[in-house]
Amino acid sequence: MNIREETITVGGVDVHTWIGGQGDPLLVLHGAGGNRGFTRWMRAVAERYTVWAPTHPGFGRSGDAEWMDGIDDLARFHLWFMDAAGLRRPHVLGHSIGGWTAAEMAAMSPGSLDRLVLVAPVGLKPETGEILDVFFYSPQQLRDMTVHDPKTIPEWDELYGKPPTPAELEIAERNREMTARLTWKPYMHNPRLPRFLPRVTNPSLIIWGREDHIVPVACAEQYRRLLPNATLHVFDKCGHLPPIEQPDAFARLVADFLGGAGR
């Protein structure tokens, strides 16, 4: 597969971007853990779609954007990114804070996006339960809380098996700082988002893990209810990282949904 990395400059920020695959464009927005690049699920989806996976400003190898104050800023930024990259009406898939970002983008400019895949997105205040305060726990503690069962994850060793290098630790700290910048208060949600979502008529797929200890699965039902054209899929025995925890089933689900009628 033809996978490449590019730096695309958007609004004065250098955006490190993974690009690969063939077919209609799919913009993939990563979660707070950072951009993992072409992992197994993404390689599978890239058989049918051209995946564009930018690293958010302030994360990984992208430039700083200390002026950003919230996820709405990041959403605006990724709409600019689509222009800069020449993506016309791409499908958008976002995970966790990337899912929230995708939802805000759709609320800002529904006509600019095609289909929407929201994977365990934050962004809504749970009607029951609470979004885990991820900054209150160490990265080591969080790793254990994030997935349901490491033993069932095919890429576990590849992704988490080795102790992180100093450079990786530095990037992890930077990712955490930028996440705090974007999500600290109101914590991981936008109180106005429930007002916006009913305007988003794009076909939408919501995906969740039933054992998600970071964002309550109750939020899945809230998203499904608020988005007029949404379906929900909940994976059993799965935590907050469905794309990593069940990559093959996840990739099939996503590719089938994106291939549905209505473009």
Partner 1 sequence: MKLYYFSEMPHHEYPDEEGDKYPSLRLAFPNKFFDPGKAAENYQRYFAEYELADQVGFDGLMINEHHSTPSCVDVGVNMTAAVLGRTTKRAKILILGNILPIEDNPVRMAEQLAMADLISNGRVLSGFVRGVGVEQWWANSNPVHNRERFEECHDLILKCWTEPGPFRWEGRHYHFRHVNPWCLPLQKPHPPIWIPGTASPETAIWAGQRGYTYVPFLVPFEIARELFEFYRQGAAEAGRTATPDNFGFLICAVTADTKAKAVEAGRHFVWRMGPTLRGPIDWFQPVGMRSRAGKQFALKARPRSLSTMSYEELLASNLIIAGTADEVADKFALVHRELGVGHLLLEAQESRMDHETTARSIELMGAKVIPLTSKL
**Residue ranges in contact with partner 1 by CB under 8 A:** 135-138, 173, 176-177, 179-181, 184-185, 187
Residue 170 CB, shortest distance to partner 1, in Å, is 9
Residue 68 CB, shortest distance to partner 1, in Å, is 11
Cα separation, 46 vs 62, whole angstroms: 23
In the complex with partner 1, the residue whose CB is nearer, 158 or 168, is 168
In the complex with partner 1, the residue whose CB is nearer, 83 or 170, is 170
Residue 53 CB, shortest distance to partner 1, in Å, is 24
Nearest to 119 by CA among 25, 212, 51: 212
Instruction: Please say whether the dihedral angle defined by the alpha carbons of residues 149, 155, 157 and 162, taken in this order, is positive or negative.
Output: negative
Residue 141 CB, shortest distance to partner 1, in Å, is 9
In the complex with partner 1, the residue whose CB is nearer, 93 or 97, is 97
In the complex with partner 1, the residue whose CB is nearer, 16 or 181, is 181
In the complex with partner 1, the residue whose CB is nearer, 158 or 173, is 173
Residue 166 CB, shortest distance to partner 1, in Å, is 12
